[in-house]
Structure 1
Amino acid sequence: MDAQEGTQQSQQLILAHKVFLLKHRDVPDIEKVRLKDEVLNTVKSNYMTPYYENLVADKVLDLDHSVLDSMRAKNEEEIKKIDEKIADAEENLGESEVREAHLAKFLYFIQIGEKEKALEQLKVTENKTVAVGQKMDLVFYSLQIGFFYMDFDLISKSIDTAKNLFEKGGDWERKNRLKVYEGLYCMSTRNFKKAANLFLDSISTFTTYELFPYDTFIFYTVLTSIISLDRVSLKQKVVDAPEILTVIGKIPHLSEFLNSLYNCQYKSFFLAFAGLTEQIKMDRCLHLHFRFYMREIRTVVYSQFLESYKSVTIEAMAKAFGVTVEFIDQELSRFIAAGKLHCKIDKVAGVLETNRPDAKNALYQATIKQGDFLLNRIQKLSRVIDL
């Protein structure tokens, strides 16, 4: 896996995205012809025998025995060379050379898409590694394997390993990189709030180009922030953030999406969101959460609109959003029933009446609850003391 220096995305993560598009039902057939050629060329140039076999089994690529045999022969030849280097290092050289030889074998297994053997070799390499920085680099490799295969169990365990290592030391650059990896994991597992916080923390220190380009990072940051932050925080951390302002214009519809929401231009907001839907559907980490994100963003925008009113006609709201009265009626009915919006519909008068929970009342209820909990703890403590 190419954890390249500089600003290049890992070639294997680019490959994984192309394979995802090949399997996507909304990608046109003519586009899939081009993608199939690109995937096959990448697989052949990296001699990815095990991965090729998986793609054939998934009916993504067609089986070519001559290609398979030549790649397998190349793999056997390379592994034999690496094993000879390991044996030579163990007999004639020092510990660091032994580690480098084992690391080379680990990286070769990653290159050819041999996941299980790569993870076995990772353990061997870890045992030969002493420096915390080098151990962290191995964790980043395992995280990239996790994102290549979308193995969330491996990603979660690797993040925990990294955090444990940081307790023993570690530099800020690697800590900041880990935040982006964890943010991507949180976003991919629908924890958008935590993802937004991690992305925003990393916005001025981003160096994780092996995962995705900076434009994609800003795209993810804006999408997760809009449904996670309150209006004031959104203004401070996103709308006015210089790092976001320098890039957001390069991403189609994203600037209009963010600014029209903040400026309460609801017709423009929905037009911009319609333009973004294709990008979300075609994203390998977001596509599974498309419907959920649609619901969340509509909850945010409807709540923002209704916050300004004690009551408003359904017709006025429909006009503000550029949709029909029937559409708004159906939409709000669903969100109210799900407990997402605090209002009620008066169908006779054609009016929406908001019934937001009173903040003082909520605070009073919370205080009573905490008081009861404290009294229970004191009573239990007094019984222990009496004994």
Structure 2
Amino acid sequence: MDRGLPNLHLEFVKYLFLLRHLDVQDIEKVRLKEEVFAIVKTDDMAPLYETLISESVLEKDQGVLDSMRAKIEDEIKKLDEKIADAEENLGESEVREAHLAKSLFFIRIGDKEKALEQLKVTESKTVAVGQKMDLVFYTLQLGFFYMDFDLISKSIDKAKNLFEEGGDWERKNRLKVYEGLYCMSTRNFKKAADLFLDSISTFTTYELFPYDTFIFYTVLTSIISLDRVSLKQKVVDAPEILTVIGKIPHLSEFLNSLYDCQYKPFFLAFAGLTEQIKLDRYLHPHFRYYMREIRTVVYSQFLESYKSVTIDAMAKAFGVTVEFIDLELSRFIAARKLHCKIDKVAGVLETNRPDAKNALYQATIKQGDFLLNRIQKLSRVIDL
């Protein structure tokens, strides 16, 4: 891990997430604590260390804390001297670089407020759109480090406004991944999938996560967002995905068994993936939601082929008991996630999919009525 660059150690923040996670074993937490403490000491992350002490994540070592504070004070003094020298003796470019160095230092030590404050100062010294965009990316990294969705949302909007002034394709493509991660983290899986798929061949945002993790997110969001034809074209047959998917445990079986309608292996693969989803800091809050959505997709796909099917046949196809399927489908039907009904006496499921043409006709009628009402209101105003 690069200690010098302000990538905010996103592996490190993963360790912090796991340390706070109830499902992680105590013996693993001992190892994680050692890793976290080593990184905190190496980068003199006193502000973050104090937070972790207050949350009882790490134990307090006053000697280490005092040493870090002294080093920080000394480094800030040097950075301020460089800024003063640049302002007195050098040009605008050098002044900006000196302020940027101070921003990156505050990012490195985990001082969010001072980092944001210094980034604003640096921005005031910045003219080029590309350099302004880089400052927005640093702000976005801070947002993801602290899971500050308000900061992330505002920074994405700011980046889009900057792109109206110009900006290169490389930065635009990077922004798609940042926005995709934000959408996934806020449960907008459809938009996340679209943005991730757009970025597959241009991925360069290794400061967020490795390419394997990017493919993991792309497949998971696509499965619950795309129709069957799009899934085949954009995911199942995508060469970029095919080269990586085999390295990620259970993911290839998860995707291909769903597409091939092999439901027993699909559920086995899904069971293997649940731990990865649960222990992912971005997906963890949506674990139950994702579980429901993926089951809706797979049950809908199975029922799509039948006008009616016995509950026993469906249970065998999924490798579960009749009681389990009965209970599952009852919940999804009640929530209007599945268009079918259960005949308990005959032990049969009858599908009652809405007629797409009829739904389109009803929508057209409704929109037509709305348009006529607007025209009538407008005509009354014109008559006056």
Partner of 2:166: 169
Cα displacement (A) at 1:215: 0.4
Q: Is contact 1:21–1:282 with CA below 8 Å preserved after alignment?
A: yes
| Alpha-carbon distance in structure 2 between the residues aligned to 1:45 and 1:207 | 27
Cα displacement (A) at 1:11: 5.3
| Alpha-carbon distance in structure 1 between the residues aligned to 2:2 and 2:192 | 24
Partner of 1:226: 223
Q: Is contact 1:248–1:255 with CA below 8 Å preserved after alignment?
A: yes
| Alpha-carbon distance in structure 2 between the residues aligned to 1:4 and 1:10 | 9
Cα displacement (A) at 1:317: 0.3
| Alpha-carbon distance in structure 1 between the residues aligned to 2:172 and 2:8 | 23
Partner of 1:21: 18
- SS in structure 1 of the partner of residue 165 of structure 2: coil
| Alpha-carbon distance in structure 2 between the residues aligned to 1:58 and 1:17 | 16
Does the alignment pair 1:307 with 2:316?
A: no
Runs of 4 or more, structure 1, over 6 Å off, are 1-5
Does the alignment pair 1:107 with 2:123?
A: no
| Alpha-carbon distance in structure 1 between the residues aligned to 2:109 and 2:256 | 45
Describe how 1:1-387 pairs up with structure 2 within 5 A.
10=7, 12-387=9-384
Alignment CA distance shift 1:4-1:214 (3 Å): farther
Q: Is contact 2:46–2:109 with CA below 8 Å preserved after alignment?
A: yes
Q: Is contact 1:143–1:155 with CA below 8 Å preserved after alignment?
A: yes
- SS in structure 1 of the partner of residue 153 of structure 2: helix
| Unpaired segments ≥5 residues, structure 2 | none
Q: Is contact 1:2–1:210 with CA below 8 Å preserved after alignment?
A: no
Percent of counterpart pairs with the same letter? 85
Cα displacement (A) at 1:10: 3.4
Q: Is contact 1:4–1:210 with CA below 8 Å preserved after alignment?
A: no
| Alpha-carbon distance in structure 2 between the residues aligned to 1:12 and 1:194 | 26
Q: Is contact 1:2–1:11 with CA below 8 Å preserved after alignment?
A: no
| Alpha-carbon distance in structure 2 between the residues aligned to 1:291 and 1:366 | 33
What TM-score do you get using the length of structure 1 for normalisation?
0.98
Q: For each residue in 1:339-380, what CA deviation from the matched residue of structure 2 results, as whole angstroms up to 9, or x when unmatched?
A: 100000000000000001011110110111011011011101
Alignment CA distance shift 1:154-1:311 (3 Å): same
- SS in structure 2 of the partner of residue 204 of structure 1: helix
Partner AA of 1:50 in structure 2? P
Cα displacement (A) at 1:293: 0.2
Q: For each residue in 1:185-232, what CA deviation from the matched residue of structure 2 results, as whole angstroms up to 9, or x when unmatched?
A: 000000000000000000011111111000000000000000000000
Partner AA of 1:118 in structure 2? A
What TM-score do you get using the length of structure 2 for normalisation?
0.98
Q: Is contact 1:43–1:52 with CA below 8 Å preserved after alignment?
A: yes
Partner AA of 1:199 in structure 2? F
| Alpha-carbon distance in structure 2 between the residues aligned to 1:383 and 1:242 | 60
Cα displacement (A) at 1:270: 0.2
Partner AA of 1:76 in structure 2? E
Cα displacement (A) at 1:3: 11
| Alpha-carbon distance in structure 2 between the residues aligned to 1:242 and 1:272 | 22
Cα displacement (A) at 1:4: 8.7
Q: Is contact 2:8–2:107 with CA below 8 Å preserved after alignment?
A: no
| Alpha-carbon distance in structure 1 between the residues aligned to 2:377 and 2:173 | 45
- SS in structure 2 of the partner of residue 326 of structure 1: helix
Return the structure number with greater relative CO, CA threshold 8 A, min gap 6.
1
| Alpha-carbon distance in structure 2 between the residues aligned to 1:11 and 1:130 | 25
Q: For each residue in 1:304-360, what CA deviation from the matched residue of structure 2 results, as whole angstroms up to 9, or x when unmatched?
A: 000000000000000000000000000000000001000000000000000010111
- SS in structure 1 of the partner of residue 205 of structure 2: coil
Partner AA of 1:243 in structure 2? E
Q: For each residue in 1:266-305, what CA deviation from the matched residue of structure 2 results, as whole angstroms up to 9, or x when unmatched?
A: 0000000000001001101001100000000000000000
Cα displacement (A) at 1:381: 1.6
Q: Is contact 2:8–2:142 with CA below 8 Å preserved after alignment?
A: no
